[in-house]
Chain A
Amino acid sequence: MDFWTLANALATGLLTGLVYGLSALGLSVIFGVIRIVNFAHGEIMVMGMFFALIMFRWLGLDPLLSIPLAAAILFVFGYALQSTVISRVAHLPDHMQFLLLAAIAVMIVNGSLLIFGPDPQAINISYSFDSFDIGEDLIIDKSRAYAAIAAVAISGLLLGFFKYSRTGKAIRACADNYLGAQVVGLKVDHLYALTFGIGAACLGAAGCVLLLLIEVHPYLAPGYTLLAFVIVIIGGLGSMTGALVGGILIGMSEALAAIVFQPSMKSAFSFGLLILVLLLRPQGLMGKSIK
């Protein structure tokens, strides 16, 4: 394997990893604040992908332009889901919450199966097969580059929102100290629903972006749920920068595994990495210490 093969793989991995990071951000935000492990993560993202697919088929809209509407629709979906259903199981043990979300995941997968059928569907846009050639040997797909740029922009927006806006600060206050947030008069239920909505909106955006890179079908979802878990744990559950770093790490390690071993071994590589992190640093690379 020569230097340029490696460089190409790493560049591809880095760009894919940025998209993974955006998706994992959605999981991290929800876990970090509401302490719910969103087992329907990949499923909600695939909803976003299907939405972008419909917009492309009907209006010929580039998936990147579908992002605002997909995010808005999934925000409403997430807000409603948290405030009507998930909030009702907040007092139940972990495994019951997990079961509820797994049941929701099953419903989303099979609902989309009923509507869209099992076959993979792809979109074909003007720049699908174009690439940026940097020098002689470094070749980067245009769609991947655009996807990564969009992912970075949205991730940045989200980080900024949580760091600087009043609502973002209020949400972080709920995450830091639930009781304290209530005492100072924050509407915690509303903020939780808002958080789930933001997480879901983030997944809607990630779904639109991902449609540039891969075909969509209902059974895609569970794999992406697991992938996001791996990323978030490696980065540190609840840490937003951790999710982004974890995404890049997994994207690049997948790309490496695909050229060093076989493409089908790439997720084994990620799970191996996960086990390693759980053993050596269970709080994740960027996480604060856990109980």
Chain B
Amino acid sequence: MMGFNMLADLTNKGRIGLLLFLAILISLPFWSSSYIISVATITLYLAILGQSWNLMLGFAGLLSLGHALFVGVSAYLAAYLFSVLGLPPVIGIFPAVLLAILMGMLIGYLGFRFSIGGVYFALLTIAFAELVRISVDHMAVIGGTEGLFLQVSEGDRKGVDLINLRGHPWMFYYLAMVLAFLTLAGCRSLLKSKLGYYWQAIRDDQDAAQALGINVFRYKMYAVIYSSGIAGVAGVFYAFYQNSLFPESVFGIERSIEVSLGPIVGGVGSLFGPVLGAFILTPLGEGLTELIDFLKSSGIIDPKSKLNGLKLLIWGLVVALIVLFKPRGIWPWLNDKLGFCRKESD
């Protein structure tokens, strides 16, 4: 696999860093709590989505604010096929991801055909996500606002059943890790392929790219197809990990923004940025919750005070500070300081 050439990008220092990082990730379940495993699983899941989102904006220059749509349609279809028709997700993933890709192609086709650019394209993605959210609200067959649930028995939580995606939290954790790694490797080989260079040309100057004979419409479509496909795979994982899907919590615009935050904080356009971003933001959010609980239980803050919103208030502040002071993202800055990568492609 070309993706494994990733090691060639790294300096010795970077290889040691990666090795250390992998060692911590792989050994994590053996020395931490179930709570930390669940946070780490969500972090890895968001790293996959961050990679998918970054493929569109960072590689091809297409701003999507509706990524929850691709995740959601795939999650819903796979869950529906499993719970109603008994189709295992190993098979269900194909129609589910196909649906996500079709959604992407529809938006891409409509947007690029009429050369809707920049902010307008982003709003088109929001509009579709909202339209689907409201439609799902009204689809009784997949639960509507009541939600769609997957059956979990006590026994399911103990075993490992990769065909039906029922199993121990460790299984989901390692599955997320493998998927995150495959996504990273896949995105790297895409970025270094001819396609990747076409994308970067379009991102940097669409008119010039077109003048050089690049079929801009086609390659933008490819970017949307790959991106929505990855998001679709993540959606199937999400459905079977969460076991419950609600239109608001799956398709809501907050979900789409959440997807975009990791790569932006980590560094748009870089390969490791989305991963780093996910590993900064998710633990930060969880850590703030823990900190507030700790301060309450130790009496520093009045335990009775309602602090709804304090966590997200601080979290918004951190994001704003990153935009103001590290607008290229954390990874490029960190890499300059520590020299993990041989000149990250810019």
The chain A residues found within 8 Å of chain B, CB to CB, are 37, 85, 88-89, 92, 94-96, 98-100, 102-107, 109-114, 117-118, 218, 222, 226, 229-230, 233, 237, 262, 264-265, 267-268, 271-272, 274-275, 278-279, 282, 290-291
What are 21 residue pairs bridging A and B, where the CB atoms are less than 8 Å apart in the complex?
A85-B320, A85-B324, A98-B65, A99-B319, A103-B319, A104-B320, A106-B313, A109-B309, A110-B311, A111-B309, A112-B309, A114-B308, A226-B126, A229-B123, A230-B127, A262-B138, A268-B135, A278-B114, A278-B127, A290-B120, A291-B117
Chain A contacts for B40, CB-based, 8 A: none
Contact among B111, B306, B323 for A96, CB-based, below 8 A: B323
Interface size class for chain B? Answer: 35 or more
A272→B119 CA distance, assembly (Å): 18
**Considering residues B254, B261, B323, which has the most beta carbons from chain A within 10 angstroms of its beta carbon?**
B323
CB distance A111 to B324 under 8 Å?
no
Q: In the complex, what residues of A have CB within 8 A of residue B134's CB?
A: 264-265, 267-268, 271
> Which residues on B sit within 8 Å (CB–CB) of A267?
130, 134
Q: If A104-B316, A117-B308, A264-B134 touch, does A92 touch B327 (CB 8 Å cutoff)?
A: yes
A118 nearest in chain B by CB position = B308
State the CA gap A92–B324 with chains docked (Å): 10
Contact B131 A37 (CB under 8 A): no
User: Do B324 and A106 touch (CB < 8 A)?
Assistant: no
Q: Are B324 and A278 in contact (CB under 8 A)?
A: no
Grouping DSSP codes into helix (H, G, I), strand (E, B) and loop, the B interface class, with mixed when no group exceeds half, is helix
- A114-B127 contact in complex given A103-B316, A267-B134, C-beta closer than 8 Å: no
Residue B124 is within 8 A (CB to CB) of chain A in the complex? yes
Q: In the assembled complex, which residues on chain A have CB atoms less than 8 Å from the CB atom of B124?
A: 275, 278
Q: Taking the complex as formed, is B69 at the interface, i.e. its CB lies under 8 A from any CB of chain A?
A: no
Residues of B with C-beta under 8 A to A85: 320, 324
In the complex with contacts A110-B309, A226-B130, A271-B130, A282-B114 CB distance below 8 A:
yes
Given the contacts A89-B323, A94-B119, A278-B124, A272 and B312 also touching, CB distance less than 8 Å: no
Kindly state whether residue B6 has any CB partner on chain A within 8 Å. Answer: no
Tell whether B344 is near chain A: CB-to-CB under 8 Å: no
Q: Who on chain B is nearest to A92 by CB?
A: B327
Neighbour of A278 across the interface among B65, B123, B253, CB < 8 A: B123
Q: How far, in angstroms, from A151 to B318 measured CA to CA in the complex?
A: 37
Give the residues in chain B near A103, CB-CB below 8 Å: 316-317, 319-320, 323
CA distance A107 to B119 in the complex (A): 23
In angstroms, Cα B128 to Cα A226, docked, is 12
Q: Does B91 interact with chain A (Cβ within 8 Å)?
A: no
Least Cβ–Cβ distance between B114 and chain A, in angstroms: 6
In the complex, what residues of A have CB within 8 A of residue B327's CB? 89, 92, 96
- Interface 1/0 per residue, B123-144 and A, CB below 8 Å: 1101110110011011000000
Contact yes or no, A88 B324, CB < 8 A: yes
The answer to whether B316 touches A110, judged by C-beta atoms less than 8 angstroms apart, is yes
Q: Are A106 and B120 in contact (CB under 8 A)?
A: no
Q: Take A95-B268, A279-B110, A282-B114 as given contacts and tell me if A111 and B127 are in contact as well, using a CB distance cutoff of 8 Å.
A: no
A262 CA to B261 CA, complexed, in Å: 35
Q: Are B120 and A278 in contact (CB under 8 A)?
A: yes
For the A-B complex with A94-B63, A109-B312, A268-B131 known, give 18 more contacts whose Cβ atoms are closer than 8 Å: A37-B119, A92-B323, A94-B118, A95-B63, A96-B327, A103-B323, A106-B313, A114-B313, A222-B253, A226-B253, A233-B120, A265-B138, A267-B130, A268-B135, A275-B124, A278-B114, A279-B114, A282-B116
